[in-house]
Amino acid sequence: MSQKVKNFLVCTGIFVFVMGVMLVAAGFMKRSLDTDGAENGIVAEEVNDAAGNDSASDGIELEKEELENSEESENPNIEDDEEQDSGNAQNSIDESSEQEDANLDIEENDSNAQTEAGDSEAGGNEEDENATDIMNNSNVSEDQTDSNGAVKVIAIDAGHQLNGNSDKEPNGPGSSVMKAKVTSGATGVSSKVPEYVLTLEVSLKLKEVLLERGYEVVMIRETHEVDLSNAERAQIANESADLFIRIHANGADDASVSGALTIYPSKDNEYVAYMSEECESLSKAVVDGLCEATGAKNRGAVAMDNMSGINWCSIPVTIVEMGYLSNPQEDELMQQEAYQEKIAKGIADGIDAYVNKQYQ
Ligand SMILES: [Zn+2]
């Protein structure tokens, strides 16, 4: 072999060796950089997990997991936000009513909703705006009712009866908490008209409006001489209807308190938590519809879990507290035929809005 050929081979060998070393070094540096990158990413997002990641492949796998996790959690995060947002509007009412839950006795006699009058004064303008929005919605919903086949049968319970029944029944399926089966209700402070009379008058008007709008109606009672506990009323509704509307009137120690509210079971309800959201939607729709139609102060939808007639339900339900029998002006107003017709129309508007999915 000539010297030239030897030199050429040696040079080529050295070149190949150097290139090889450079490639190996480059590869090593790249892996090292990836590891740092992955660890940095983890440190930024999950401080606790970052400490143990000393190999590049671990880091990369974790990065992928994080990506997958963040994709999966995107939707739940948005749902949570929406729930929080929609809850915020009711927070003041919910909290006060829940505090009252703890303080008040559990008799289902409507004194539960004695939110301080001063509280709701502050929100008056906001409530007016809400009511205006709903009026627009319900105008649309009236046109759409016929096309919706989901809810057809509405059960209406005219609250209370001629004689209360103080025998006890569980306040929910399997509950050890016992409550009076049904009370005779409040009495108008000025009109002296008992609640059970007012509730049936309005319930019969509501029945007519709903029939006109194409719903079927089941009346839990149409006379005063019945003996139906709150649990029994719920069970009749469960068996015969798609929605349950319970008509009541409110009472408060402070005679100046006025306005309408609706009641639904909270998400923590021991018996019917699964339909809390549906009931909340229904309750909001109904109280907004009622207040828009009557001009009553809107005290909102309030979560309460001590109502037998809700806890025994298996269909979306709301208690409508039309106004305060303890307020002389509102008491007299609720005795007026024309005002009762507005209440009935407003509740029906709310049912339409709920049925047409305008409250979600
Ligand atoms: Zn009542």
pLDDT tens, 324-336?
999 999 999 999 9
pLDDT for position 88? 32
- CATH classification at residue 139: 3.40.630.40
User: Who contacts 315 (Cβ-Cβ below 8 Å, separation ≥6)?
Assistant: 155, 237, 238, 241, 242, 243, 244, 275
Spans of the chain, pLDDT less than 70: 1-151, 360
pLDDT for position 8? 56
Secondary structure (3-state) at 156: strand
- 284 plus 323 within the same structural domain: yes
- C-alpha 156/C-alpha 220 separation (Å) is 6
Query: Among residues 266, 248, 261, which one has the least CA distance to residue 311?
Result: 266
Q: How far does residue 67's CA lie from ligand 1's centre (Å)?
A: 54
Angle subtended at Cα 237 by Cα 215 and Cα 308, rounded to the nearest 5 degrees: 135
Q: How far does residue 192's CA lie from ligand 1's centre (Å)?
A: 15
Beta strands in the chain (DSSP E): 153-158, 165-170, 178-182, 216-219, 243-250, 260-264, 298-303, 317-324
Q: How far does residue 88's CA lie from ligand 1's centre (Å)?
A: 28
- 91 plus 144 within the same structural domain: no
pTM of the model: 0.62
- Last residue within a domain, chosen from 46, 69, 103: 103
Q: For residue 157, is it within any domain?
A: yes
Q: For residue 267, is it within any domain?
A: yes
* Domain total in the chain: 2
- 135 plus 82 within the same structural domain: no
Query: Could you tell me the residue range of the domain that residue 242 belongs to?
Result: 108-355
- C-alpha 25/C-alpha 40 separation (Å) is 22
Sort residue 317 into left (φ over 0), alpha (ψ -120 to 50) or beta. Answer: beta
Q: For residue 16, is it within any domain?
A: yes
Q: How far does residue 183's CA lie from ligand 1's centre (Å)?
A: 8
Q: For residue 360, is it within any domain?
A: no
pLDDT for position 70? 35
pLDDT for position 359? 73
